[in-house]
Structure 1
Amino acid sequence: MVSEGSKSGNVISLISVVDKDSGDNGKVVCRLSDNVPFELKHSGQDNMYSLVTKGQLDREALSHYDITVSATDLGHPPLSSFKTLHVELSDVNDNSPEFLQNPLYLYLAENNVPGSSIFSVSASDKDTNANALISYQILRGNGSQNDMTSFLNINSDTGDIHALKSFDFETLKTFQFQVVANDSGSPSMSSNVTVNVYILDQNDNAPVILSPVSANGSAEGVEEIARNVNAGHLVTKVKAIDADVGYNGWLLFSLQEITDHTLFGLDRYTGQIRTLRSFTETDEAEHKLLILVKDNGNISQSATASVIIKAVEPKEAFSSSDVKTIGETEDNDITFYLIITLGSVSVLFLISIIVLIAMQCSKRTDSSKYLQEANYDGTLCHSIQYRSGDKRYMLVGPRMSIGSTIVPGSNGNTLVVPDRRRRLSEEIHFNFSLRTR
């Protein structure tokens, strides 16, 4: 028996060969069969050899070897004999447990029975005996709200997983956890597998009627329509929802009771109630419809709604129809108004940025500003040039409108501007500046 963990060069056996001849006829040479991880080494004594390991041994690849040893003397002619050695390899814990598939997928129907087995994991180990003895445990999470491991238990010997609670598809659709497989070797080796759990929906929810609903909360509503409506007029729509999904949440509508089958019809898929014909003088003023809303689950669930339709004169129906129309369109218009509001705010913000930029660009760099009176013709400045000796002078001042006069004797050259709206004239003083070029 040789351990598979033996290093290269370890002696596993001594071989002694006896030949009764003398001289060269009694000297023996031993050889091994080919393709074995062993070799013979001469021990230094005549006809004595050591069988040693050569290379790495792997019990999982080959657990035993049949080695043929040939002994041949040096006589003429040489004589030979053969001996077969059986070598068994003992196991060491050099392999981790292995899962056939990683990750694993579990599809679990909701409303499972608490405590029942929902899944089983299995791992294998290439080692033998205690080195291949596997135990299982669930890798616990941090105890957060999304951690479902606290509701799971596993049989450490078999790998059977039990759920300690009943799962609800409407509140939890998927989660995952990890299972650890440990062998019993020394030192122990382990591996993990991820289990993805998908909760499958069952038809455990009945349809819920949203409208029409009466003031006391029951699935009953009263609708008023004018007697002069035409065929195809939309009277009302029965709205319902189902918390289930797929076929379990697919709803169909049907009429269970109706006072006049020729007057009203119900759409099987939308729940819309429409008139089939116009009202006549002999038709009743009030009609009651009992509507059944049913899902498409394997075990179907249903709910009922009652609709009372009152036929009134057009004037009476006008006010109630306005209120009804506002209520029906209010929800549809919210999204539209929200989009308009957001767009308007964005446009106003962009315009404000553009105006601010334009105002900054249009600031005048000239620090001199002139104020224009109401009686001026709009021209701020007027200049008069003349010479005196070698110098040239420019007299700058406001342009005078027609009919204005300059009054001499003033320090600042007074410009008198007549005012047509007043009898007394106002004197507006401007100081002429004298520039020298």
Structure 2
Amino acid sequence: MISFLSINSETGDIVALKSFDFETLKTFQFHVIASDSGTPSLSRNVTVNVFILDQNDNPPVILYPVSSNGSAEGVEEISRNVNAGHLVTKVRAYDADIGYNGWLLFSLQEVTDHSLFGLDRYTGQIRTLRSFTETDEAEHKLVILVKDNGNVSLSATATVMIKLVEPKEAFAASDVKSTAKDDEDNDVTFYLMITLGAVSILFVISIIVLIAMQCSKSTDYTSKYLPETNYDGTLCHSIQYRSGDKRYMLVGPRMSIGSNIAPGSHANTLVLPDRRGTCGETYQ
């Protein structure tokens, strides 16, 4: 602390060699020795405590909108379909002073339409006061004054440009609805094609099955009613012949020309007694 202070050896006045900042140094102490000119010299020392008092020496600093060349300006776009109480933006600032001197207050210094926007004096939030109408201007300028709470108040200003745009939500909703409708139409067309394809396949399979069944029935009918070899279609016919003392009659289908009966075979042979037949026919 010696470099910060100077003391007058004659008067005991202590002088600060530099200014103190409450935010960096709040208190410090040092020792002072006072001695007389007697012989022997007598002395006494004392401890001096120094308390730095806070002074409003720091102006507010704007964080948003971005500060440029001592001024701050930002642009905000909001939809025209927002309701009252919608948060547009927030002016952010800080003060390096500690305590009471560092408290900040926000106020509207300039605004194009007082009925549209409101500013919270403690938080710096900008909100809409009512819904927008078609007659409202598309662009609005707000100048916000930020000042601290010192005895000698220090301040800074920020400019916010607010632009009204057409509702993006409405366009987005319209696009989503159109896309959903197209997807729905595509789904209906897809399912319709699948249904038609399935019906066509079932129809073709049914035709093939019916044709196969008809072919099968035709083959069975032909096999059932097809005459056997050497059969000329006559269901009953008889042939009589005599062998020694016995008389024979062959009963069965008529044999076609070229058919042979093996000698001595009695297949399909009925042996008849030598008398008149039951049908009134005499066998010779």
Fold conserved (TM > 0.5)? yes
Q: Distance in 2 between matches of 1:318 and 1:205?
A: 48
Structure 2 portions without partners, runs of 5+: 173-284
Per the alignment, residue 50 of structure 2 pairs with: 197
Per the alignment, residue 27 of structure 2 pairs with: 174
Question: Is residue 59–residue 155 contact of structure 2 (8 Å, CA) maintained in 1?
Answer: yes
Per the alignment, residue 145 of structure 2 pairs with: 292
The 5-angstrom pairing of residues 281-320 of structure 1 reads 281-315=134-168
Q: Distance in 1 between matches of 2:169 and 2:69?
A: 25
1:275 is the counterpart of 2:125: no
- 1:258 corresponds to which of 103, 111, 133: 111
Q: Distance in 1 between matches of 2:137 and 2:64?
A: 24
Q: 1:208 to 1:227 in 2, by over 3 A?
A: same
Per the alignment, residue 12 of structure 2 pairs with: 159
**How many residues of Structure 1 are paired with residues of Structure 2 in the alignment?**
172
Shift of 1:317: 10
The 5-angstrom pairing of residues 373-412 of structure 1 reads none
Q: 1:197 to 1:317 in 2, by over 3 A?
A: farther
Q: Which amino acid is 2:131 matched to? A: S
Paired-residue identity, % = 84
- 2:81 corresponds to which of 223, 228, 243: 228
Per the alignment, residue 219 of structure 1 pairs with: 72
Shift of 1:246: 2.7
Shift of 1:217: 7.9
Q: Distance in 1 between matches of 2:169 and 2:100?
A: 43
1:78-110 residue CA offsets vs partner (Å, 9 max, x unmatched): xxxxxxxxxxxxxxxxxxxxxxxxxxxxxxxxx
Q: TM-score with structure 2 length normalisation?
A: 0.55
Question: Is residue 23–residue 98 contact of structure 2 (8 Å, CA) maintained in 1?
Answer: no
Per the alignment, residue 51 of structure 1 pairs with: none
Q: Matched residue of 2:101: which SS?
A: helix
Q: Matched residue of 1:150: which SS?
A: coil
Q: Matched residue of 1:247: which SS?
A: helix
Q: Distance in 1 between matches of 2:67 and 2:103?
A: 25
Q: 1:167 to 1:209 in 2, by over 3 A?
A: same
Q: 1:214 to 1:276 in 2, by over 3 A?
A: same
Q: Which amino acid is 2:58 matched to? A: N
Q: Matched residue of 2:15: which SS?
A: strand
> Which is helix-richer, 1 or 2?
2
Q: Distance in 1 between matches of 2:131 and 2:51?
A: 53
Shift of 1:156: 2.1
Larger displacement relative to structure 2 (152-161 or 207-216):
207-216
1:150-169 residue CA offsets vs partner (Å, 9 max, x unmatched): 23222223221122222233
Q: Distance in 2 between matches of 1:316 and 1:197?
A: 63
Q: Matched residue of 1:220: which SS?
A: strand
Per the alignment, residue 222 of structure 2 pairs with: none
Question: Is residue 235–residue 274 contact of structure 1 (8 Å, CA) maintained in 2?
Answer: yes
Q: 1:186 to 1:317 in 2, by over 3 A?
A: farther
> Which is strand-richer, 1 or 2?
1
Higher relative contact order (CA 8 A, sep 6+): 2
